[in-house]
Amino acid sequence: MKAVLPMLLLLACPFHVSAGKAQSVQFQGVVQRDDTVPVRFDLHVPAESRLAVELDDGSRLELAAPNGEESATARLVSASGEVLHSAAFTDAGLASTSLAYLVCDGRVTYISPAPAADPSCP
């Protein structure tokens, strides 16, 4: 019996450690640029994966699910490759998050959680 208990503990440890890790992260939200039509998204990104949403102006929204070492992230990148904003979500068990980017006259505003109504430029 004494030999069985340590073996059960060893078998149970991997399940306990992985229990807090999400299989995918759901990203919901919107990107609103000046007076253009808002780009809404509701995407599931599998664990340890990245996804990019190309926008009409050449910029892109990059979403990444955690890979065990890094947090889930969302980045807004300009057409020239400049990172306009980057957000990290430090909860290793994150299953869902919402966010919004509002870009008015070149200024970027990040909102999380995303508001119920689409944001607009003043």
CB-based contact 25:88 (threshold 8 Å): no
pLDDT at 22: 65
The number of angstroms, rounded, from the C-alpha of 90 to the middle of its chain's C-alpha atoms is: 10
Radius of gyration of the chain (CA): 19
pLDDT at 67: 78
**Calpha distance 120→45 (Å, rounded):** 27
Question: Which stretches within the chain are classed as H helix?
Answer: 4-18
The whole-number mean pLDDT for each consecutive block of 10 residues of the chain, a chain of 122 residues, reads 37 39 88 94 95 95 88 96 96 89 96 95 90
CB-based contact 104:121 (threshold 8 Å): yes
Nearest Cα residue to 118 out of 36, 45, 27: 36
pLDDT at 63: 97
pLDDT at 74: 97
pLDDT at 2: 45
